[in-house]
Amino acid sequence: MKLYYRLFNTDDPEERLEDAALWKAIYDEFGDGIIPLGHDAEAPADGYLLGRGRNHERGAILPIGDDLPYWTDPAFLSACGRSFKLCDWDGAKAEVDRLHSEGKGAFVKSIRAKHYIVRVPVGTSLMEAADAMAFSFMDLPPCLMVQELVDLHYERRFVVINREVVTCSPVAVHLTPLDMPAVGFAHYLTPKHKAPWKYSRSLADQMLRIARSIAETMATPHAIIDLAACDGRIIAIEFNPARIGQFGLFACDVRAIAEAVRSVIPDYDDEATAVEKRKPKSEWSIVAAQARFHEMFKDKEVRP
Is the four-CA dihedral 130, 133, 136, 139 of positive or negative sign? positive
Is the four-CA dihedral 47, 53, 59, 65 of positive or negative sign? positive
The residue type found at 6 is R
Q: What is the CATH number of the domain that holds 205?
A: 3.30.470.20
Based on the domain organization, do 141 and 166 belong to the same domain?
no
Give the pLDDT confidence score for residue 59 in this predicted structure.
Answer: 86
The most distant pair of C-alpha atoms in the chain lies apart, rounded to whole Å, by: 65
Number of domain units in the chain: 3
3-state secondary structure of 233: strand
Name the residue range of residue 34's domain.
Answer: 2-51
Tens of pLDDT along 98-132?
A: 999 999 999 999 999 889 999 999 999 999 999 99
Give the pLDDT confidence score for residue 182 in this predicted structure.
Answer: 84
Question: Alpha-carbon distance 89 to 80, whole Å?
Answer: 22
- In the chain, which ranges are continuous DSSP H helix? 13-30, 74-79, 89-101, 126-130, 201-217, 254-261, 287-292
Based on the domain organization, do 132 and 174 belong to the same domain?
no
Question: Alpha-carbon distance 176 to 164, whole Å?
Answer: 22
261 HSE (CA, 13 A, CB side):
27
3-state secondary structure of 44: coil
Pairing of strands 223-230, 233-240: antiparallel
Across residues 259-286, what is the average pLDDT? 64
Give the pLDDT confidence score for residue 300 in this predicted structure.
Answer: 66
Based on the domain organization, do 118 and 159 belong to the same domain?
no
Based on the domain organization, do 184 and 290 belong to the same domain?
yes
Note whether 233 and 206 are within 8 A (CB). no
Based on the domain organization, do 161 and 292 belong to the same domain?
yes
Across residues 17-36, what is the average pLDDT? 95
Based on the domain organization, do 266 and 134 belong to the same domain?
no
Based on the domain organization, do 290 and 172 belong to the same domain?
yes
Q: Is the peptide bond before 181 cis (omega within 30 degrees of 0)?
A: yes
Give the Cβ contact number of residue 174 at 10 Å: 15
135 part of a folded domain: yes
Name 272's Cβ contacts closer than 8 Å, sequence gap at least 6. 33
Based on the domain organization, do 195 and 276 belong to the same domain?
yes
Banded pLDDT at 58 (limits 50, 70, 90) = confident
72 part of a folded domain: no
Give the pLDDT confidence score for residue 274 in this predicted structure.
Answer: 47
Based on the domain organization, do 136 and 89 belong to the same domain?
yes
Q: Is the pLDDT of residue 248 over 80?
A: yes
Q: Is the pLDDT of residue 9 over 50?
A: yes
3-state secondary structure of 251: coil
164 part of a folded domain: yes
Question: Alpha-carbon distance 175 to 191, whole Å?
Answer: 9
Across residues 56-69, what is the average pLDDT? 90
Of the candidate ranges 51-60, 222-231, 251-260, the one whose mean pLDDT is the lowest: 51-60
Q: Is the pLDDT of residue 276 over 80?
A: no
Give the pLDDT confidence score for residue 1 in this predicted structure.
Answer: 86
Question: Alpha-carbon distance 115 to 111, whole Å?
Answer: 8
Note whether 149 and 104 are within 8 A (CB). yes
Question: Alpha-carbon distance 85 to 92, whole Å?
Answer: 8
* Terminal Cα distance for the chain, rounded: 52
Based on the domain organization, do 122 and 168 belong to the same domain?
no
Q: pTM for the full model?
A: 0.89
Question: Alpha-carbon distance 35 to 27, whole Å?
Answer: 9
